[in-house]
Amino acid sequence: MTAYVVQPLCAGAEEELQRADGRAGDVRLEAVCLPSAESKGRLKLATVGANARRATEDSTAVAYLEAPGPGNGFAESILESAEIPSIYDSSGKQAMAQLLKAVESADTSGSLRVSIEEGLDGS
């Protein structure tokens, strides 16, 4: 399974994932680092959209990790169509730890994405 991670959260998310040996219970998880959507202090909505669409095109995507900010609503509208849950945190380590916990407690008999979303809502 794959977690899409927006810069600048990627290094911390990868570190947390490595600490967990790339696993959450029986599920193997990897992080895909996405390019920054900011340039010279300005948000590039085209990059926000491209990043979110990239996640929706991946059937293994189970979450989208990003820092709280002005582009969240734009990405969220794209991600919702594929039922990919978003985790907003200013720390990549904390965001990945939250995802790992949600994956571990997820019901794998149905939609993993929906089960993870439910686990995130309950945390």
- Note the pLDDT tens digit of each residue in 36-75: 999 888 999 999 999 999 999 999 999 999 999 999 999 9
Q: What is the dihedral of CA 91, 5, 1, 96, to 10 degrees?
A: 0
Q: Are 56 and 64 in contact (CB under 8 A)?
A: no
Q: Any bridge partners for residue 38, and if so which? A: 43
Flag whether pLDDT at 1 surpasses 60. yes
Domains of the chain with bracketed CATH: 2-121 (3.40.50.2300)
d(CA 54, CA 40): 23
Global pTM?
0.93
Nearest-CA neighbor of 114 among 91, 89, 80?
80
Look at the block and give the residue holding tokens 């790339």.
22
Alpha helices in 21-86 (DSSP H): 45-56, 72-80
